[in-house]
């Protein structure tokens, strides 16, 4: 029997924002195995446990194979007609703001582009927001305030040439493991490299930390104000850089001067000598990268935390140079790509500004659209509030599971259940959200679809097809284009392959580029299918000569009207009062081997071995106080609800705080959805929910 030779397809991991290159090998009999792509600049062949287990998660269990209407199988034509009719009727009867798309950092850039184009240019509303709002909206807002545009200044290589890496609110070892591996390898080669970890918990990342500041939750702004004050007092400021390339320093420093060491100790809970050790190390080390993630972003003061960090880098001129700068690491594989095409309620495509009439007119003219959203739309939390109070009549959820991942998830579930018309397009029908849909649309999954994603360091990589979509599954961009066509907008949605969408996106990024924007991949505006297929990973922006820009702001010019960066005058937030009856602080986060709501990683027995069931980490003192023993069932409660999880007693927690992972949901364990416990408190600037630092209580569960 002739056996076809194995095929090797270069693609990109669909999990975290590191964006590792993967080679999928498909054997002659159709078996798939994966390995790291040695030539990909994000990982140089490395993969973490999740990436290495990708082949175990692409089976057909739970796959949504055919369109469904009210639980009954149907054909694509009938399902798409119904979606277009219902959305059209809501818009006709209640206006464009009566409909909403809730999309996902799992979508490819081309999917995001088409969804954003339909909503903002053809429906005429900006009610499109994304689960990336839960992950990096505060970084976006902080970048825009400081730099004039949402731009990550540095790149991964900076982590290998830095002499000091400050990891704040980031368990890199578990959440961005390949970046962690790159740092570990660099530290082995260059032992003088120092690592400071700023995190209320002792995590796996602590293993490489030379210094751990176990700060109280949400005391980061105070900590970095204290650092700014120290830098000023110790002569570590770069006055020439501050005067030549920034504005607002004086006011920012005045706020920092309000906090003395005594205040800092009280607010952060860290000993004065330890704080001064960190400050002195930062002041004395030229090559510093500050890496931050969800511990910074997922907070009611998330944007201020981001700017407090950036302020310290601007004050020392440590930005735009090798081994220096603030680096926000994104959670999802394409959180960055969504930002590029305006897949958020407060942005336009190609990083243009929805509040700017010139930008709105430019995008509308480029799209030849009948309209353009005139104002920002509803951000994620507000969107589901609008679903709850009846303002949203038709909702389309794409590739995400808000019934598990949104704060106040119980009320989000009730809101979706009561929404007059709900569409879910996804690879699976088994999510807690998909169960509530009137219409289910089967989407192609990883390996079955083609397009691009952008990682943390602005690197655009291809995801390529190596599997045939099962059943009737189709790519998201096709589904959205078909609905657009049925709504009467066919002429603007004639895409027949993702290369055409990428080319349009690239052309828009260069269209009448007035030099005031940060995003330009216009060199690809004429790319054809073959060129798209061969596209090698590259970082945006791309110069007119076609080379990628590794680091931004190397010339000290920013995207503000006067070209200067802005110090943001942040204030330390008021100390939170403890809530009567809820004396503990609940923190949430990831575990090493699971991803989001486990719709894929939950299929791998190997990945589930690390932690087989949901748990709550409790400090031994708190466990003793509540008479809780190891592996006891524990009820964790807040003002909004309660979950049942196993006790894991560990000194990794500080007394008074507990930790529950975010992944488990009703599909895998009854009553373990931790996000039902978090109130929908948001950062006032970014709209990002505060999924950490939630007042809670615990008690040993005794069955009645
Ligand atoms: Fe995938 Fe992230 Fe792991 Fe890389 S580090 S293999 S992108 S999950």
| CATH 3.40.50.740 domain range(s) in the chain | 68-134+337-539
- The ranges of the chain annotated as CATH 2.20.25.90 are 7-57
Taking the centre of ligand 1 as the mean of its atom positions, its distance from the CA of residue 20, in whole angstroms, is 6
Residues 6+ positions from 613 with CB-CB distance below 8 Å: 645, 646, 664, 669
Q: Which of 371, 356, 364, 43 is nearest to 179 (CA)?
A: 43
For domain 584-700, the question of CATH label 2.40.40.20 is answered with yes
pTM (global) more than 0.90: yes
Rounded distance between C-alpha atoms, residue 496 and residue 118, angstroms: 16
What is the Cα–Cα distance from 263 to 282, expressed in whole angstroms? 20
Name the percent of the chain in helix, strand, coil, to the closest 5.
35, 20, 45
The pick from 17, 18, 610 for probing ligand 1's pocket by mutation, whose C-beta has the most ligand atoms within 8 angstroms, reads: 18
| Residue 592 CA, ligand 1 centroid: distance in Å | 11
CATH number of 68-134+337-539: 3.40.50.740
Q: Where in the chain is the domain with CATH 2.40.40.20?
A: 584-700
For residue 16, give the ligand 1 atom closest to its CA.
2
Kindly give the number of the ligand 1 atom that is closest to the alpha carbon of 52.
6
> Which residues fall within 8 angstroms of residue 620, CB to CB, at 6 or more apart?
649, 650, 651
Residue 694: per-residue pLDDT: 87
Q: How far is the CA of 333 from the centre of ligand 1 (A)?
A: 9
Q: Report how far residue 275's alpha carbon sits from residue 212's, in angstroms, rounded to the nearest whole number.
A: 10
Pairing relationship of beta strands 211-213 and 194-198 according to DSSP bridges: parallel
* HEC assignment per residue over 645-664: EEEEECCCCCCCEEEEECCC
Q: Which has the closest alpha carbon to 616: 599, 601, 602, 633?
A: 633
Report the alpha-carbon distance of residue 154 to residue 309 in Å, rounded.
Answer: 14
Give the mutation target among 12, 35, 105, 176 for probing the ligand 1 site: most ligand atoms within 8 A of CB.
Answer: 176
d(CA 125, CA 228): 42
Residue among 11, 13, 44, 461 whose CB has most ligand 1 atoms within 8 A, to mutate? 13
Q: What are the 10-residue block averages of pLDDT along the chain, 704 residues in total?
A: 81 95 94 96 96 87 94 98 98 98 95 97 97 92 94 95 96 95 96 96 93 94 98 98 98 96 96 98 98 93 98 98 96 82 90 92 96 96 97 97 88 96 95 95 97 95 96 98 98 97 93 69 84 93 79 94 97 80 88 77 80 89 95 91 91 91 66 74 93 90 78
Reading the block at residue 161, the tokens are: 């040439």
Which atom of ligand 1 lies nearest, measured to the CA of 13? 1
Token couple for 511:
């269209």
The closest-lying atom of ligand 1 relative to the alpha carbon of residue 333 is 7
Nearest protein Cα to ligand 1, atom 4: 20
CA–CA separation, 118 and 493 (whole Å): 9
Q: What is the pLDDT at residue 603?
A: 77
Ligand 1 centroid distance, CA of 114 (Å) = 26
The CATH number assigned to the domain with range 137-329 reads 3.40.228.10
CA 481 to chain centre: 25
What is the 36 CA–ligand 1 centroid distance (Å)?
10
CA 454 centroid distance within chain = 12
Task: Determine the distance separating the centroid of ligand 1 and the alpha carbon of 682, expressed in angstroms.
Answer: 28
Among residues 348, 405, 411, 354, the alpha carbon closest in space to that of 133 is found at: 405
Nearest atom, ligand 1, residue 51 CA: 6
Residue 575 CA, ligand 1 centroid: distance in Å: 37
Characterize the bridge pairing of strands 99-103 and 72-73.
Answer: unpaired
Q: How many angstroms does the Cα of residue 44 sit away from the middle of ligand 1?
A: 12
Please check whether the domain covering 7-57 is classified as CATH 3.40.50.300: no
- Which residue among 12, 38, 45, 48 is best mutated to probe the pocket of ligand 1, counting the most ligand atoms within 8 A of its Cβ? 48
Report the pLDDT value the prediction gives residue 516, as an integer from 0 to 100.
53
Q: Residues of CATH 3.40.228.10 domain(s) within the chain?
A: 137-329
Which positions ≥6 away from 189 have C-beta within 8 Å?
none
């Amino acid at each position: 029997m002739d056996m076809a030779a194995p095929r090797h397809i270069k693609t990109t991991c669909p999990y975290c924002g590191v964006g590792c290159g993967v080679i999928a090998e498909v054997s002659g009999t159709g078996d798939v195995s994966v390995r790291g792509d040695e030539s990909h600049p994000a990982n140089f062949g490395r993969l973490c446990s999740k990436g290495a287990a990708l082949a175990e998660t692409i089976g057909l269990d739970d796959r949504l194979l055919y369109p469904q209407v009210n639980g009954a199988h149907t054909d694509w034509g009938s399902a798409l007609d119904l979606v277009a009719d219902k959305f059209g009727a809501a818009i006709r009867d209640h206006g464009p703001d009566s409909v909403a798309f809730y999309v996902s950092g799992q979508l490819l850039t081309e999917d995001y582009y088409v969804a954003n184009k339909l909503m903002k240019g053809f429906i005429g509303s900006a009610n499109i927001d994304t689960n990336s709002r839960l992950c990096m909206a505060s970084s976006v807002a902080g970048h825009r305030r400081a730099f004039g545009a949402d731009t990550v200044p540095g790149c991964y290589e900076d982590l290998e040439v830095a002499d000091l890496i400050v990891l704040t609110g980031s368990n890199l070892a578990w959440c961005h493991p390949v970046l962690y591996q790159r740092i570990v390898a660099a530290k082995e080669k260059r032992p003088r490299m120092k690592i400071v970890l700023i995190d209320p918990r002792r995590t796996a990342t602590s293993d490489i930390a030379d210094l751990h500041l176990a700060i109280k939750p949400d005391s980061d702004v105070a900590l970095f104000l204290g650092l700014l004050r120290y830098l000023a007092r110790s002569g570590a400021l770069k006055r020439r850089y501050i005067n030549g390339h920034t504005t607002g320093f004086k006011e920012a420093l005045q706020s920092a001067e309000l906090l003395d060491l005594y205040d800092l100790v009280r607010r952060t809970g860290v000993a004065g000598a330890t704080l001064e050790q960190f400050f002195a190390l930062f002041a004395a080390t030229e090559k510093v990268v500050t890496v931050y993630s969800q511990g910074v972003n997922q907070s009611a003061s998330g944007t201020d935390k981001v700017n407090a960090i950036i302020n310290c880098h601007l004050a020392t001129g440590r930005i735009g140079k090798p081994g220096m700068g603030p680096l926000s690491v994104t959670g999802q594989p394409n959180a960055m790509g969504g930002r590029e095409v305006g897949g958020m309620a407060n942005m336009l495509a190609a990083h243009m500004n929805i509040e700017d009439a010139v930008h709105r007119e430019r995008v509308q003219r480029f799209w030849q659209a009948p309209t353009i959203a005139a104002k920002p739309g509803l951000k994620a939390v507000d969107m589901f509030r609008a679903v709850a109070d009846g303002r949203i009549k038709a909702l389309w959820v794409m590739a995400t599971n808000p019934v598990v991942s949104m704060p106040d998830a119980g009320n989000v579930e009730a809101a979706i259940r009561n929404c007059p018309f709900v569409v879910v397009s996804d690879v699976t029908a088994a999510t807690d959200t998909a169960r509530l849909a009137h219409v289910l649309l089967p989407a192609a999954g990883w390996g079955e679809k083609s397009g691009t994603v952008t990682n943390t360091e602005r690197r655009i990589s291809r995801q390529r097809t190596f599997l045939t979509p099962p059943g009737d599954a189709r790519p998201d961009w096709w589904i959205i284009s078909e609905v657009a066509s049925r709504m009467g907008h066919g002429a603007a949605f004639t895409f027949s392959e993702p290369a055409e969408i990428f080319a349009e996106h690239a052309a828009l990024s260069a269209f009448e580029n007035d030099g005031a924007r940060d995003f330009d991949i216009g060199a690809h505006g004429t790319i054809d299918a073959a060129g798209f297929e061969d596209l090698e990973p590259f970082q945006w922006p791309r110069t007119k000569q076609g080379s990628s820009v590794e680091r931004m702001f190397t010339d000290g010019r920013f995207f503000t009207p006067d070209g200067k960066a802005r110090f943001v005058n942040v204030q330390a937030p008021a100390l939170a009062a403890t809530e009567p009856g809820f004396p503990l602080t609940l923190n949430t986060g990831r575990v090493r081997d699971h991803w989001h709501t486990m719709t894929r990683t939950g299929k791998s027995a190997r990945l589930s071995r690390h932690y087989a069931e949901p748990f709550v980490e409790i400090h031994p003192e708190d466990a003793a106080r509540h008479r809780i023993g190891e592996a006891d069932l524990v009820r964790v409660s807040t003002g909004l609800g309660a979950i049942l999880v196993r006790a894991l007693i560990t000194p990794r927690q500080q007394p008074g705080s507990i930790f529950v992972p975010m992944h488990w949901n009703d599909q895998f364990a009854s009553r373990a959805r931790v996000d039902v416990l978090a109130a929908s408190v948001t950062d006032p600037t970014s709209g990002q929910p505060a999924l950490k630092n939630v007042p809670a209580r615990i008690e040993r569960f005794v069955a009645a």
